[in-house]
Amino acid sequence: MRVSAGASRSFLFLQGPHGPFFHRLGRMLRAAGAQVHRVGFNRGDQAFWPDRASYTPYHGTPEDWPATLDSLLARHAVTDIVLYGDTRPIHATAVAAARQRGLTLHVFEEGYLRPYWVTYERGGSNGHSRLMRLDVADMRSALARSPSDQPDAPTAWGDMRQHIFWGALYHLFVFAGRATYPGFRPHRALTVGQEAKLHLRRFLLQPVHRWERILKTAAIRHSGHPFHLVLLQLEHDASFRTHSPFQSMTEFLAVVMEGFAAGAPAHHHLVFKAHPLEDGRVPLRAEIARLAALHGVTDRVHYLPGGKLGPLLDLARSAITVNSTAGQQVLWRGLPLRTFGDAVYAKPDFVSTQPLPEFFAAPTRPDLRAYRDYRRYLLETSQVPGGFYSARGRRELLRHVTDMMLSPDDPYDALRLGNAAHRQQLHLAD
């Protein structure tokens, strides 16, 4: 009798991306013969895990979580922990426990080459990823075992509508069921009620922001001025909070504005593009206007509330960010890029280390050949075709990532050892 691939494995799922992906993944692992359990910390977690038999609600406080986790790991003989992002306090505790006990830690994140791929790594992601310790020479050596070609970049990006839908639904469940989970504390600074209000406000203002984006983008595109693009991030995002030198987004804005005023040619403009999920909890627009006036560059500075990135990058002279994954789109186009925080793509081969005034005056271009090798390495290892939020994206992701999780080798070792499975790279419909 053939032994199932998941035999003797026991997976404990913690918090996942909004929507049904984690439940579908757990069902797939169970079909492979593994034991699967889920801990939920709020009503949103519970709503997206309909299998009550394998679900454990956690009603305690954050202070009691480490002891409860130890009990769960022992009770279910857990061999693997699965989570989305590794920095929120609940997950940081699990990361430490996994390392102490020698458990396999499966970390999902938004794709480093989002949105037609998601990130799957073991041990950590973003600034905790193994990619931080690998240089391009290491990657080229591993790629020598791989005959596949690098796929083209998609021309349209993402399942953002589904992302917004599942996120709004999740927070509504959290808000409505807050009495059921009295000990739950969001990993962000705002309360559950404040989060829900911001999501509702952003949803109601979408038509207004859409027309503002259209008009302002058209004005920038048709002005004829050379411009530099600043890729803003969510201040509460884990990559910004944990892997950057800034305590707030306003600190970053001040540094960029000062550098632009000191170094950019007088006919150059500066465009700040908000993150697509920016919800107004930080007064970005007002702070940008204040700093521009302070440095005497008001007529040369613009703010865009989200919108498509590709058309702007096609015209930009350079881009600046803390450590946004959108930096990958910048490098794919061969544009100069200046970063400030820890990022898996912030290699000296293709990311500028110039002082900011010097960068605005004459930015150095990336080594495009090195970046393409880096990109190909990611597509052969941690970047998995599919998505968390659309039905088609989840189907494609499950076809690939389930076997990757059951493999004895993590994605980087699998390529180095010549064991990486072939992946069909698909361009999923928006």
Beta bridge partners of 272: 230, 303
Predicted confidence at residue 428, as pLDDT, reads: 42
Predicted confidence at residue 199, as pLDDT, reads: 61
Residues with Cβ within 8 Å of 31's Cβ and at least 6 positions away in sequence, in order, are: none
Predicted confidence at residue 317, as pLDDT, reads: 96
Predicted confidence at residue 197, as pLDDT, reads: 65
Q: What does DSSP say about strands 117-122 and 383-385: parallel, antiparallel, or unpaired?
A: antiparallel
d(CA 333, CA 310): 10
pLDDT tens per residue across span 169-224: 998 899 899 899 988 887 655 566 666 666 666 666 666 667 677 777 777 887 88
- Cβ atoms of 388 and 359 within 8 Å: the answer is no
Predicted confidence at residue 154, as pLDDT, reads: 47
d(CA 20, CA 301): 41
Of the candidates 212, 223, 219, which has an alpha carbon nearest to the alpha carbon of residue 304?
212
Within the chain, which residues score under 70 in pLDDT? 1-4, 147-158, 187-209, 211, 280, 421-430
The separation between the first and the last C-alpha atoms of the chain, rounded to the nearest angstrom, is 43
3-state secondary structure the chain: CCCCCCCCCEEEECCCCCCCHHHHHHHHHHHCCCEEEEEECCHHHHHCCCCHHHEEECCCCHHHHHHHHHHHHHHCCCCEEEEECCCCHHHHHHHHHHHHHCCEEEEEEECCCCCCEEEEEECCCHHHCHHHHCCHHHHHHHHCCCCCCCCCCCCCCCCHHHHHHHHHHHHHHHHHCCCCCCCCCCCCCCCHHHHHHHHHHHHHCHHHHHHHHHHHHHHHHHHCCCEEEEECCCCCCHHHHHHCCCCCHHHHHHHHHHHHHHHCCCCCEEEEECCCCCCCCCCHHHHHHHHHHHCCCHHHEEEECCCCCHHHHCCCCEEEECCCCCHHHHHHCCCCEECCCCCCCCCCCCCECCCHHHHHHCCCCCCHHHHHHHHHHHHHCCEEECCCCCHHHHHHHHHHHHHHHHCCCCHHHHHHCCCCCCCCCCCCCC
Predicted confidence at residue 305, as pLDDT, reads: 86
* Planar angle of CA 73, 45, 394, nearest 5 degrees: 100
